[in-house]
Structure 1
Amino acid sequence: MSHLASGAVVDRRPSFRIDTDVAVAGGGAAGVAAAVTAARQGLRVTLVERYGFCGGGAVAGMSGTVCGLYEASDDPAQPPKQVVFGFAHEFTGLLERKGGLGPPVRYGKTYTRVHDPLVWREAADDLLREAGVQVLYHSTVTGVLLEGGRVQGLALYTKQGPATVHARFTIDASGDADVVAMAGFPSFIGDQGRVQNPTMIFRLCGVDTEKFLRTYGADTIMPEQISALIRTCHGRQYFLPRAKIWLFATPRPGELLCNCTRILGADGRELNTLYCADFTEAEMEGRRQVREYARFFRDHLAGCEASWVNDTGVQVGVRQTRQVRGVALLTNEDVVGARKFCDGIARSAWPIELHSGDKPRVEWLLNDFYEVPYGCLVPQQGEGLLIAGRCLSAQHEAIASARVTAQCFSYGQAAGHAAALCLENGCEPRQLRGEDVRARLNRDGARLDE
């Protein structure tokens, strides 16, 4: 055996330890909401985030919108009807006061709001700082502290050296159920392993947005005439694999947020970013498609004649990877049937959006909403752990509705309160009554019974 093959893996930097009440893995919408909510209950909270900022898919993935706040309707004259409140409402209000959130804009049969991702980062920093959360940026979870089936915290990689965060409760807000998988608790991936493809979102500057909006209207889903033109040009002068596209005017002057790429593997597969080779291929293919769509827009779209790519997401936008197997499962029927639960801890009126095949498929829930039960945040196996964000327990089509930003804020707020209630009552998350979490959420402005 060669010297290289027999060499030991070492890290001789000194390690360090942090003791906390609640450890939160991931600083996306769910992680920020969970950390701030738990800290406001008087708990010591440590949030671990691999980037140097919070925001997750909304910021690093540059989804750029706060989706899921409003009901959908067939009546184009119906004004926005907000159905999600609580932490989501607080955070969007802060974004608005900071000048980082546009007004509601049409998104098919509903509305969304476009944010400035730089302001999103600052708003999260402010709330975390004010709540007294200990934030560890540029820190990656590498393992779980596990004792007898109970999660006791997290192991981390940091530039300072290896670290352990010892926590009484842990919240997996990684988006990919990383903590669940590291602990070996039950989980599943998509529809029998098949997931929705990722997207590289980008910002286009130098746009005459008034001309653009006059020409194409206020709906952020581009009209059929644009989809038809894309289909005509694809494979000829341009490579444009997705014809149904979303373009949003942002709070910044002269800028469009562009959600239009469709990233498949060279072998035609829907890429799964849980696999490092797929993640890498998605990043490279995404950047290639950005240039193609930007060139097409510059050549063919009114108002985009002098435009240029300002930036892309820090990483490709991920729609779906791994889900926890929870005590409860949000089913496809729950979503389309607008089902309510006595232990519902979040509302959603967002449509099922399946981004696969030749074009995205959208299935609307009109003039109503469904609820997500508390058990979707509790793993079937393992103690000391709660789930928040898009890795909650939900079927393939259900997560295509339940994964968006407003709902992730709600899951995080629920998980933060659940952790606090568990500490107050000396119980585990599975022993906690979801109705008690709902009551605490209502006291905190969630308005679930209105």
Structure 2
Amino acid sequence: MKVSHRDPASGIRVNDCRPASHLECDLLVVGGGAAGVAVATTAARQGLDVLLVERYGFCGGGAVAGLSGTVCGLYEASRNAGSVPRQVVFGFADEFLRRLADKGGVTSPVRYGQTYTRVHEPHVWRETADRLLAEAGVRVLLHTLVTEVLTEGGERIAGAIASTKQGKLDIRARLTIDASGDADIAAMAGLATFMGDNGRIQNPTMIFRLSGVDMPRFLAARGPDSIMDDSVSKTIQRLHRANEYQLPRAKIFLFETPRPNELLCNATRIIGRDGRELNAVLTADFTEAEIEGRKQVREYERFLRGHVPGCENAWLNDTGVQVGVRQTRQIAGMQTLHNTDVTGKARFASAIARSPWPIELHSGEKPQLVWLFDDYYEIPYECFVPEFGESILMAGRCLSAEHEAMASARVTAQCFSYGHAIGHAAVLAVRDRIAPRAISGAEIRALLNRDGAQLD
């Protein structure tokens, strides 16, 4: 079917002569990151006809394309540096980690300041997602980018139009999940969204892997903590001020990975030429971030080789497929996770996930960490339900949350948890014909506990 229309102002005709295709499903999941994979798998396991579309040729989102490389948010923080990791997040996150571990694709807990994280191998992450989705019977379309949203009656989301190499794809769905990370579907549909603190967002970063590291020498000199100590920060500051290197971030994170002799390096701080925190939903900003990120990676590689023991003969293995994006659009939800909910370790009757992760603000040359010691807070279901609009739910880091709260709630373990919960909500909505806003968070919590989420 030929798609064609004329711009009356210019007389230019817009053509796409490729044949258009049509698909129908119970549930359309847009985005194959941690949240999208969890949604799709959970819903398909319960019999829904699920279609997942992903713009890249693999699933993984920020964890893989952005090479964040860590599963953060599993363990409580403790003031005792020698404490044993205490895991408080289970359910789908735990299942995914077990599968990664079975393939040698994740480390044991790695010290990160006052808590722990797990470092994964991105190729194993992709393969694990492929297997989970296939086992559950999810239909997956890769290299498929949603470009328009279909609406019915003004309020109801009826599906989406996607662009593929084959041509346009018209997808009709009973329910749509926005797991894009950037609230793309909500924005296309004209639903209310916001960005950060009055538009101020967290800057992106270009994460990279360094191979050929003498790990025994590195660990002997730097110890087990992946957050480098003040001596490293002071050296970076001195060299940056002397203009010997361009190193805008002084506090850097270096993680041992499942691969031998390799470090995962979270070191760059990407801001615009005009000093702004770049916003990855703005095309020019996203482009500038990618180019600046690659420049900074080479500078930090040079610094590590010259000034960090064990890295003298190391080399750049790769960078993320794209810069790691911490924050862009978020939905205006039925409920908002407030900064005080995080610091006050709030509990909610409708909570469907928990997080022990610190508020992690990446502004200035040193990231700021606000720890939650020996406890966690909970995230309500209503943070994923748009204030307006029907037949749509959110999953992942585009939840309704204040700026500082988002800086804690956005990480990978929690995104797995959100997807697990929203997968159950999708089943209730489609199977029982219930509007998402009418679903009880307490009911979802009970279903999650049945799956081993251990929320109570």
TM tier, shorter chain? over 0.9
For the aligned residue pairs, the C-alpha RMSD in angstroms reads: 1.2
Partner of 2:287: 280
* Equivalent residue letter for 1:158: T
Alignment pair present for 1:9 and 2:17:
no
Residue among 243, 246, 250 paired with 2:250: 243
Partner of 1:192: 198
Q: After the TM superposition, which residues 139-158 of structure 1 pair with which residues of structure 2 at under 5 Å, given as runs? A: 139-148=144-153, 149-158=155-164
For 1:6-32, what per-residue CA distance to the aligned partner results, in whole angstroms no more than 9, with x for missing partners?
321111111111110000000000000
Q: What is the percentage of aligned positions where both structures have the same residue?
A: 63
Question: Structure 1 residue 425: deviation in Å?
Answer: 2.2
For 1:330-389, what per-residue CA distance to the aligned partner results, in whole angstroms no more than 9, with x for missing partners?
000000000011110001000000001231110000100000000001000001001000
Q: After the TM superposition, which residues 404-415 of structure 1 pair with which residues of structure 2 at under 5 Å, given as runs? A: 404-415=411-422
Question: Structure 1 residue 424: deviation in Å?
Answer: 2.8
Partner of 1:399: 406
For 1:168-210, what per-residue CA distance to the aligned partner results, in whole angstroms no more than 9, with x for missing partners?
1110000000000000011101110111000000000010011
Partner of 1:231: 237
Partner of 1:123: 128
SS in 2 for 1:393: coil
Distance in 1, Cα, partners of 2:422 & 2:99 = 21
Contact persistence 2:385–2:437 (CA under 8 A): yes
Question: Structure 1 residue 143: deviation in Å?
Answer: 0.9
Partner of 2:119: 114
For 1:30-88, what per-residue CA distance to the aligned partner results, in whole angstroms no more than 9, with x for missing partners?
00000000000100000010000000000000000000000001011210100000000
Q: After the TM superposition, which residues 57-96 of structure 1 pair with which residues of structure 2 at under 5 Å, given as runs? A: 57-96=62-101
SS in 2 for 1:231: helix
* Equivalent residue letter for 2:239: C
Alignment pair present for 1:28 and 2:33:
yes
Contact persistence 2:269–2:365 (CA under 8 A): no
Partner of 2:58: 53
Cα distance, 1:361–1:3 mapped onto 2, change above 3 Å: same
Distance in 1, Cα, partners of 2:40 & 2:111 = 32
SS in 1 for 2:221: helix
Count the aligned residue pairs. Answer: 448
Distance in 2, Cα, partners of 1:392 & 1:157 = 26
Distance in 2, Cα, partners of 1:147 & 1:208 = 60
- Normalising by structure 1, report the TM-score: 0.98
Cα distance, 1:3–1:156 mapped onto 2, change above 3 Å: closer
Distance in 1, Cα, partners of 2:187 & 2:219 = 45
* Equivalent residue letter for 2:135: E
Alignment pair present for 1:163 and 2:183:
no
List alignment gaps of at least 5 residues for structure 2: 1-6
Distance in 2, Cα, partners of 1:253 & 1:6 = 60
Contact persistence 2:178–2:184 (CA under 8 A): yes
Contact persistence 2:249–2:364 (CA under 8 A): no
Q: After the TM superposition, which residues 341-356 of structure 1 pair with which residues of structure 2 at under 5 Å, given as runs? A: 341-356=348-363
SS in 1 for 2:428: helix
Distance in 2, Cα, partners of 1:77 & 1:383 = 49
Question: Structure 1 residue 423: deviation in Å?
Answer: 2.0
Contact persistence 2:25–2:50 (CA under 8 A): yes
- Normalising by structure 2, report the TM-score: 0.97
* Equivalent residue letter for 1:193: G
Distance in 2, Cα, partners of 1:346 & 1:4 = 51
Distance in 2, Cα, partners of 1:336 & 1:70 = 16
Residue among 314, 322, 339 paired with 2:329: 322
SS in 1 for 2:81: coil
For 1:143-184, what per-residue CA distance to the aligned partner results, in whole angstroms no more than 9, with x for missing partners?
111112101111100111100111111100000000000000
* Equivalent residue letter for 2:33: G
Residue among 209, 219, 227 paired with 2:225: 219
* Equivalent residue letter for 2:205: T
Distance in 2, Cα, partners of 1:68 & 1:250 = 17
Q: Post-superposition, which runs of at least 4 consecutive aligned residues in structure 1 deviate over 4 A? A: 2-5
Residue among 117, 135, 140 paired with 2:140: 135
Distance in 1, Cα, partners of 2:245 & 2:384 = 44
Distance in 1, Cα, partners of 2:308 & 2:83 = 29
Residue among 371, 378, 395 paired with 1:364: 371
Q: After the TM superposition, which residues 230-309 of structure 1 pair with which residues of structure 2 at under 5 Å, given as runs? A: 230-235=236-241, 236-309=243-316
SS in 1 for 2:258: coil
Contact persistence 2:151–2:157 (CA under 8 A): yes
Partner of 2:23: 18
Question: Structure 1 residue 420: deviation in Å?
Answer: 0.2
Partner of 1:431: 438
Question: Structure 1 residue 237: deviation in Å?
Answer: 1.3
SS in 1 for 2:445: helix
Distance in 2, Cα, partners of 1:98 & 1:77 = 28
Distance in 2, Cα, partners of 1:186 & 1:433 = 22
* Equivalent residue letter for 1:45: V
Distance in 2, Cα, partners of 1:74 & 1:184 = 45
SS in 2 for 1:9: strand
